[in-house]
Amino acid sequence: MTGSPIWHPFTQHGLNEPIPLVTHAEGASLYTADGTRVVDAISSWWVTTHGHAHPRIAAAIAEQAGKLDQLIFAGWTHQPAQTVAEGLVEMVGKALGEGALPYVFFSDSGSTCVEVALKMALGHWSHRGEGRHRILVMQHSYHGDTIGAMSVGERGVYNAAYAPLLFDVGVIPYPHPGAEQATYDALERECRAHAAAFIVEPLILGAGGMLFYPPHVLAEMARICAAHGVLLIADEVMTGWGRTGTFLACEQAGVAPDILCLAKGLTGGSMPLAVTLASEAIYQSHYSTDRAKTFYHSSSYTANPIACAAACANLAIWREEPVRERIALLAERQAAGAAMLAQVKGIANARTCGTILALDYVVEGAGYLSSLQPRLLAFFREAGLLIRPLGNTAYLMPPYCISEEDLGRCHQALAEAVKLVKG
């Protein structure tokens, strides 16, 4: 498209890179205005789980739009929200332990559900009369682009221009293999100083470079937090809904956080909706006859009925269809692809976690602003693939319905892209 008034996110328009016009989508395929079929290998920014335009989800959206499209959620409610909340409490209870997170607060996006989590944590300690206000974060983390979410993310190119708006946090080093003790020691020191909460992306740091760490590390970090009464916030906006091979990444570590953030796949990727689930203790610290202890957070579209209807359909798909089997098959195919890619000269650290595959191209000047990134982006686009590298790191996070043939195309393209490194 040319001459458009649209200012696109994470796009430097001064580079004049082409912006394809997509007209429709189905399953793992996008179709552009010129008739080109594009394989959506990153689930349109990690959101689409079962595939685009899923019939059950589309039907639920259409039906709800004709009944109740919007409702103020402060002091009012509707059945789709009730159904979603009850379904989530049940699913999360089965994954993390019955009754682990019995309360559901609705919001609109990954960033906002993180903001909600931070405010819940700080409100918890304030209402208890305890002066805990320091938030701990992991090095290289990313939690969104609103002010609080940026504050608890890695400081760098994403947010350098907005530094005056960000609050100070305690940074825990990323648990590099063989150096995990440094992470534990730093977390222990911060927890002893009466931190309020530790927010973490379980098992995978996404935008930070698809950095993986094992479940036992998450379990030990959770143990340290619990030993000192520090709240654990699990940001499963990206890792939830089966991406790591289980419904929640926390399952693999046997960890039940105090606060859990979910978005992206909540509606199967069809509508913007997010939730923050809270423990009994978090809810009770805000429960009072004192109106000053009200949880003061909302947006106009909190728990929008149409979005909730999409989420209801998604929950039904998880209950009634073999979603976990599809995830397991995709994970198996991704592991085979990673084994092949590991043999390609110029590729390092080919790795998988559940349905996610990532690798690093060996170049000078590695990192998010690597000069390789625009060339990779163009190469994949010309190959009819939506693959959006993070600097010199490329990854695949496709919908669970992707065919073996299309996934193979993606693996082959990752291998062939090495010629850009050599060139």
Tell me the mean pLDDT in the region 11-24: 93
356-361: strand order across its sheet:
347-353, 356-361, 393-396
Q: pLDDT class for 9, splitting at 50, 70, 90?
A: very high
Strand partners, 31: 24, 37
Residues 388 and 83: their CA atoms lie apart, in Å, by 35
Per-residue pLDDT, averaged over 243-254, amounts to 98
pLDDT of residue 1: 44
The confidence score (pLDDT) of residue 287 equals: 95
Residue 143 confidence (pLDDT) above 90: yes
Average pLDDT for 198-226: 97
Q: How many CB atoms lie within 10 A of CB 408?
A: 15
Q: Which amino acid is at 103?
A: Y
What is the arithmetic mean of pLDDT over 12-24? 93
Reported as half-sphere exposure (CB side, CA atoms, 13 A), residue 85 has a value of 17
Q: Judge whether 60 and 313 are in contact, CB under 8 Å.
A: yes
User: What confidence tens digit (pLDDT) does each residue in 175-203 have?
Assistant: 999 999 999 999 999 999 999 999 999 99
DSSP β-ladder status, 356-361 and 347-353? antiparallel
pLDDT of residue 300: 95
Return the percentage of the chain with pLDDT > 70, whole number. 99
Residue position matching structure tokens 């309020």: 196
Q: Read off the tokens for 20.
A: 């394809």
Say if CB 306 and CB 271 are below 8 A apart: yes
Q: How confident is the model at residue 422 (pLDDT cuts 50, 70, 90)?
A: confident
Q: Does domain 62-320 correspond to CATH entry 3.40.50.300? A: no
Q: Using one digit for the tens of pLDDT, what is the confidence trace for 388-417?
A: 999 999 999 999 999 999 999 999 999 999
User: What average pLDDT does this structure show over 97-120?
Assistant: 97
Stretch 39-58: mean pLDDT: 98
Across the chain, which distance is largest between two alpha carbons, in Å? 68
What is the C-alpha to C-alpha distance for residues 202 and 259, in angstroms, rounded to an integer? 13
What is the pLDDT of the chain when averaged over all its residues? 96
Confidence of residue 2 (pLDDT cuts 50, 70, 90): low
Tell me if 54 sits within 8 A of 61, measured CB to CB. no
Q: Which long-range contacts (CB under 8 A, 24 or more apart) does 336-340 make?
A: 337/396, 337/407, 337/408, 337/410, 337/411, 337/414, 340/411, 340/415
pLDDT digits 0-9 by tens, 78-94: 999 999 999 999 999 99
Report CA-CA distances (Å) from 391 to 6, 157, 338, 366: 24, 12, 19, 7
Sign of the dihedral defined by the CA atoms of residues 172, 173, 174, 177, in that order: negative
Q: What is the mean pLDDT of residues 3-29?
A: 93
Residue 3 has a pLDDT of: 79
Q: What is the mean pLDDT of residues 1-29?
A: 90
Residue boundaries of the structural domains of the chain: 13-40+323-422, 62-320
Comparing 8-12, 93-97, 327-331, which segment has the lowest mean pLDDT? 8-12
The answer, yes or no, to whether residue 290 has pLDDT greater than 80, is yes
Average pLDDT over residues 117-142: 96
Confidence of residue 214 (pLDDT cuts 50, 70, 90): very high
Percentage of the chain lying above the pLDDT 90 cut? 94
Tokens of 311: 């989420």
d(CA 283, CA 281): 5
Name the CATH superfamily for 13-40+323-422: Aspartate Aminotransferase, domain 1 (3.90.1150.10)
Q: Is the pLDDT of residue 158 over 90?
A: no
Other residues' Cβ atoms within 10 Å of the Cβ of residue 66: 8
Instruction: Encode pLDDT of 309-354 as tens digits.
Output: 999 999 999 999 999 999 999 999 999 999 999 999 999 999 999 9
For residue 359, what are the β-bridge partners? Answer: 394
